[in-house]
Amino acid sequence: MPGVVLVGAQWGDEGKGKITDLIANDFDYVVRYQGGNNAGHTVIHGGHKLALHLIPSGIMYPSITPMIGNGCVVDPRVLLEEIDTLEAEGISTEKLLISGNAHVIMPYHLDLDGASERRLGNNLIGTTHRGIGPAYQDKASRMGIRIQDLFDEHIFRAKLEAALLEKNDILEKVYGLPTYTVDQICETYLPYAERINPHVCECSQTLNAALDDHKWILFEGAQGTLLDIDHGTYPFVTSSSCTAGGATVGTGVGPKTIDKVLGIAKAYITRVGSGPFPTELSDEAGDTLTQVGQEFGTTTGRQRRSGWYDAVIVRYAVAVNGLTDLCITKLDVLSALDTIKVCVAYECDGQIYKTVPASQTVFHHVKPIYEELPGWKTNITHCRSFSDLPHEAKDYIDFLEDLAGIPVSIIAVGPDRNQTIMRRWKTR
Ligand code: GDP
Ligand code: IMO
Ligand code: MG
């Protein structure tokens, strides 16, 4: 079946935006299935960087229908700003579709995200403060407001009133924050509704009809496997299903639709926010990765934590997502280093772990076991085929491939769309 899921194999920011943009041309639909504007996907358009937070990275191609699926949470203000930015860049957003079942991020979600982080103090998650967790919380507790509710003022007001009964109490009594009135929120949100209305669709029906018509669908994951609410390093995760399974739940297509699952991993690894990170570096090599890799958050501007490639985590991503192919990005960043380490297993209390330990407590205490490989210390950003790479870089990729147990089908050697080695990837 003509469905491909593209998913982050680490803690996010693996370069999903670039690779989506790269392979999108093979597809008719590019669909976001989870998350919201906590994502920051960078694509290079007309020589300059464009950060997409909500709109799928396939938007650059006029032939593609981009869609925001039911599994996403949508901040209407951010959505409309993103539409305006793209239009100003000469990129049409006319074909953009948004599921009427996607949940809406409300102003109180933003307040509660910030307030609960402040209350956690040193134990904070380090969220993006975009209201993501509180919006999914309301979805699960059946107090959420969906995109379709915006178009029926009576329903919108009734749902808002019910939500504010609780939210205002929490805002005021728990956090000492200002409260909201229904009128106040309607004043800002109802005009949003007018602009969003032409884009609204029934996501599952639209995609299933497209599949019947033999159209090709790319499901663009946000965040990464280790940030998944079920399979990530809980509680230091986001609040949605970032893994491949989320693609079916978050759009309403059946699992048999998915033909391939492409995992994206950096040639090293980064993480933004709190939580365990076995291969994290706090030395010169870490600084090099941060500076050369420009590891600063696309959404929040925070400096990302950097570390050596962790093969245990990628193997876990292979299993959890059923990855069929791996794409290694930012290989060019490693050109700055004399030698490169790869974590092949963990050790904790004399025990060796070749897979992610089932106990989170153990995971917090594991020490990485490294193998060291020689660097290549030469610019590889011009390489366009595997044979162009220096033999040390080829050996590095072959080593990662052996450890992952699946083919490394794409290698990225720079941020531009064309700075890519298409080794084995074939969409169709
Ligand atoms: P995403 O969230 O997974 O889409 O990744 P981000 O866009 O947040 O972060 C990846 C960053 O790395 C962006 O600035 C990309 O332009 C950049 N990038 C992607 N692939 C490569 C690559 O192969 N080499 C280099 N140097 N930069 C890359
Ligand atoms: P992309 O799609 C990296 C992290 C946050 C925080 C945790 C929870 O660009 O890869 P949230 O605001 O989602 O409740 O924050 O998840 N996080 C990301 N880290 N890349 C992302 O997205 C992220 N989206 C959320 O830093 O640790
Ligand atoms: Mg990002």
All structural domains of the chain with their residue ranges: 3-100+198-260, 103-195, 265-422
Residues facing 194 on adjacent strands: none
Please give the distance of CA 149 from its chain centroid, rounded to a whole number: 26
Ligand nearest the Cα of residue 264 is 1
The answer to whether domain 3-100+198-260 and domain 265-422 are alike in fold is no
Q: What is the pLDDT of residues 164-202, one digit of tens each?
A: 999 999 999 999 999 999 999 999 999 999 999 999 999
Q: What is the pLDDT at residue 416?
A: 94
CATH architecture label of 103-195:
Orthogonal Bundle (1.10)
Q: What is the pLDDT at residue 399?
A: 98
How does residue 210 score in pLDDT terms, banded at 50, 70 and 90? very high
Identify which of 17, 7, 15 has the alpha carbon closest to the alpha carbon of residue 66: 17
Q: What is the pLDDT at residue 427?
A: 85
How does residue 324 score in pLDDT terms, banded at 50, 70 and 90? very high
Dig out the tokens for 226 from the structure: 């280790």
How does residue 294 score in pLDDT terms, banded at 50, 70 and 90? very high
- Say how many Å lie between the CA of residue 296 and the centre of ligand 3: 9
Average the pLDDT over 404-426 and give the result.
96
Is residue 412 lining ligand 1, measured as CB closer than 6 Å? yes
Q: What is the pLDDT at residue 143?
A: 95
On the question of pLDDT at 48 being above 90, the answer is no
Contacts of 153 (CB under 8 A, 6+ apart): 186, 190
Q: What is the pLDDT at residue 426?
A: 87
What's the whole-number average pLDDT of the chain?
A: 96
113 catalytic, yes or no?
no
Average the pLDDT over 298-317 and give the result.
94
pTM recorded for the entire structure: 0.97
CATH entry 3.30.300.130 includes domain 3-100+198-260? no
338 catalytic, yes or no?
no
| Residue 180 φ then ψ, to 5° | -125, 155
| Cβ proximity of 75 and 131 under 8 Å | yes
Is 400 or 49 the better-scoring residue by pLDDT? Answer: 400
The stretches of 254-382 forming alpha helices (DSSP H) are 284-292, 311-321, 360-365
Dig out the tokens for 318 from the structure: 């292979």
Q: What is the pLDDT at residue 300?
A: 84
CA-closest residue to ligand 2 atom 20 = 12
Q: How far apart are CA 89 and CA 84, in angstroms?
A: 9
Q: What is the pLDDT at residue 45?
A: 77
Q: How far apart are CA 322 and CA 87, in angstroms?
A: 37
Q: How far apart are CA 134 and CA 149, in angstroms?
A: 18
CATH architecture label of 265-422:
Alpha-Beta Complex (3.90)
With a pLDDT cut of 70, the percent of the chain lying above it is 100
Mutate to test the pocket of ligand 1, among 226, 290, 296, 330 (most ligand atoms within 8 A of CB): 330
Mutate to test the pocket of ligand 2, among 54, 127, 128, 233 (most ligand atoms within 8 A of CB): 128
Q: What is the pLDDT at residue 187?
A: 96
Q: What is the pLDDT of residues 63-112, one digit of tens each?
A: 999 999 999 999 999 999 999 999 999 999 999 999 999 999 999 999 99
Residue-wise over 249-275: b if at least 16 C-beta within 10 A, else e? bbbbbeeebbebbbbbbbbbbbbbbbb
Angle, CA 228 vertex, CA 224 and CA 232 arms, to 5°: 95
Alpha carbon distance, N-terminus to C-terminus of the chain: 10
Q: What is the pLDDT at residue 1?
A: 62
Q: How far apart are CA 33 and CA 72, in angstroms?
A: 6
Average the pLDDT over 405-422 and give the result.
97
Residue in 21, 28, 41, 149 annotated catalytic? 41
How many helices and strands in the chain, by DSSP H and E?
12, 20
